[in-house]
Homo-oligomer: A and B are copies of this chain.
Amino acid sequence: MSIAVEDQTAATDSERLARAYLLGVAEPPAPHLLEFVGEHGPVAAAERVRAGDCPEPVLRETAARRESTIAEQDLEEAAKSGARLVVPEDHEWPAWPLLSLAVAAGNGVKHVAAPLGLWVRGDASLAEVADRAVAVVGARLATDYGVHNAIEFGHALATRQIPVFSGAALGIDAAAHRGALNGGGVTVALLGCAVDYAYPAGNRDLLDRIVAEGGALVSEYAPKTPPARHRFLVRNRLIAGLTDGTVVVEAGIRSGARNTATIAGALGKVVMALPGSVHSGSSAGCHALIRDCKATLVTSVDEVLETVGRFGTAAPAAESSRRPTDNLGPEASRVYDALLPRAGRAPEEVAESAGVPVSRVRALLPALEVDGFAVRGETGWRQIVRTANR
């Protein structure tokens, strides 16, 4: 599967340059700068920020880097690593999914301001991959059980043409990306560092493979920006915001994956978690999400798709293997139970044992015979043992 960029550009060069500058000057999320850009447009806003001609809150967000940021250099560096800057003025800007961030911010949710632009390395069109996507996330310290499930869920989503978003961390995230790639799918990694900063080093090959196989690395951070703890937390809002739902595969009680799930919930997205052993600390975060935060328990990708609900797929309805006797009414069921497979019983005996009036027993036995549950022999009525259909 490959979702290639068809019409990459729409923004003007000056708009893109201005956005590169604005992304560089403020550490995201930068709600006041975002509002300022919304009022004045990126080009004018960038000029005024550079000149220090802006309201106090915007000045505070931009003061540290407004003189040192060189947007041209960032764009050149990006080009060297095959990356590009996607901005809201572009056709491929994922405006629809990111609207959830603006709505939540408007409703008073903290630290969820939309990004001013996104650095992207890889051919995937952001708008198309984010049109229907699921985030699969979890802890770095994962068990075999968690890694196995992350691979399985990534793979199963890929085979159903659902792009898999994750955070490229060691452990569950990496396994989810790998599963998607092995399933021939598109996978997108949201990073807490620049898209040209190979982190974590142990996942360098994975990051290259994501790009090579039609996916993308996505970040708010200018080329060469190193990772930082707060950047991973800030990045989490993009994983939650760009997808329809977040699946937490395995997470300890303090895992950052719970943070992503919490944000997803605050954005009105679907939050799901896999159960595990009650003795596993690595599942404790998942259990807490299900127990205390109304996350939906999921055990399969069919259940994920049913929960997310947008994809026209439904889980095969609990696959409960029905027994033939399930369709019997309560009295018929008791009469059936009162029969023996190898010895005949008289209706009076059946009535006594089943606690059903003998007149009803006399009426029910022939009906049971017609349906193949009972047979009349010389010594009386016998049970025909019926096993489950499957």
Contact = CB atoms under 8 A, between A and B. Distances in A.
Interface stretch (A59-67, A88-96, A235-243): A59-67
Given A275-B283, A330-B111, A355 B253 contact: no
A51 interface: no
Interface stretch (A11-19, A37-45, A75-83, A287-295): A287-295
A383 B361 CA distance: 55
B291 A330 contact: no
Contact of A274 (B68, B278, B303): B278
Interface string A214-256: 0000000000000011100000000000000000000001100
A319 interface: yes
Given A27-B355, A60-B360, A297-B287, A338 B228 contact: yes
A112 to B, nearest CB: 13
Contact of A284 (B26, B68, B299): B299
A320 B274 CA distance: 19
Contacts of A337: 228-230
A270 interface: no
Given A228-B334, A299-B287, A357 B319 contact: no
Question: Which of A65, A298, A338, A355 lies at the interface centre, i.e. has the most chain B CB atoms within 10 A of its CB?
Answer: A355
Contacts of A276: 275-278
A99 B358 CA distance: 33
Nearest to A355: B27
Interface residues of A, number: 55
Contact of A297 (B145, B297, B360): B297
Interface string A296-321: 11111001000000000000001111
A240 to B, nearest CB: 18
A27 B334 contact: yes
A359 interface: yes
A139 to B, nearest CB: 14
Contact of A277 (B230, B277, B318, B358): B277
A290 to B, nearest CB: 5
Contacts of A318: 253, 288, 292
A356 interface: yes
A351 B64 contact: yes
So how many copies of this chain end up in the complex? Answer: 2
A352 interface: yes
A354 interface: yes
A161 interface: no
A318 B251 CA distance: 14
A354 B64 contact: yes
A287 B287 CA distance: 12
Contacts of A228: 334, 337-338, 353
A331 to B, nearest CB: 9
A254 B27 CA distance: 54
A149 interface: yes
A182 interface: no
A125 B372 CA distance: 47
Contacts of A230: 330, 333-334, 337
23 contacts: A60-B360, A63-B351, A64-B352, A64-B354, A64-B356, A64-B361, A145-B277, A228-B338, A228-B353, A229-B333, A253-B321, A254-B323, A274-B278, A275-B275, A275-B297, A276-B278, A278-B299, A278-B300, A287-B299, A288-B318, A291-B296, A291-B297, A291-B303
Given A63-B358, A229-B337, A253-B321, 18 more contacts: A27-B355, A64-B357, A64-B361, A229-B333, A230-B337, A253-B320, A254-B323, A275-B276, A275-B277, A275-B283, A275-B287, A275-B290, A278-B300, A284-B299, A287-B297, A288-B318, A290-B297, A291-B296
